[in-house]
Amino acid sequence: MKLSSPLGDIHKIGIYGNIENKAESNLLEISEEISKSIYQITKFKNSDSPLTNLSIRDLEISNNPMIVKSNLKMRILWTGPNQWLIVSDDKILEDELKIFDSNNFAVTDLSHTRAIISVKGENSLEVLKKGCPYNFNNLKKNMSINSVYHSIAVTIDFIEENPYKMRIMCLRSFGESLYHSITDACLEYGYKAI
Instruction: Write out pLDDT tens, residues 60-69.
Output: 998 899 999 9
Domain hosting residue 124, numbered range = 14-35+113-193
Beta pairing, strands 37-43 & 143-149: unpaired
In this prediction, residue 90 carries a pLDDT of 84
- For residues 94 and 41, membership in a common domain is answered with yes
In this prediction, residue 137 carries a pLDDT of 87
Beta pairing, strands 28-32 & 191-193: parallel
pLDDT score of 116 more than 60: yes
Mean pLDDT (the chain) is 93
- For residues 44 and 105, membership in a common domain is answered with yes
- For residues 24 and 48, membership in a common domain is answered with no
* Average of per-residue pLDDT across 15-32: 95
160 domain-assigned: yes
170 domain-assigned: yes
pLDDT score of 93 more than 90: no
Contact 49, 104 (CB under 8 A): yes
1 domain-assigned: no
Task: For the chain, give the percent of residues with pLDDT over 70.
Answer: 98
pLDDT score of 1 more than 60: no
pLDDT score of 102 more than 80: yes
pLDDT score of 94 more than 90: no
**What is each CA distance from 75 to 12, 47, 68, in whole angstroms?**
27, 24, 7
State which of 64, 86, 109 marks the end of a domain: 109
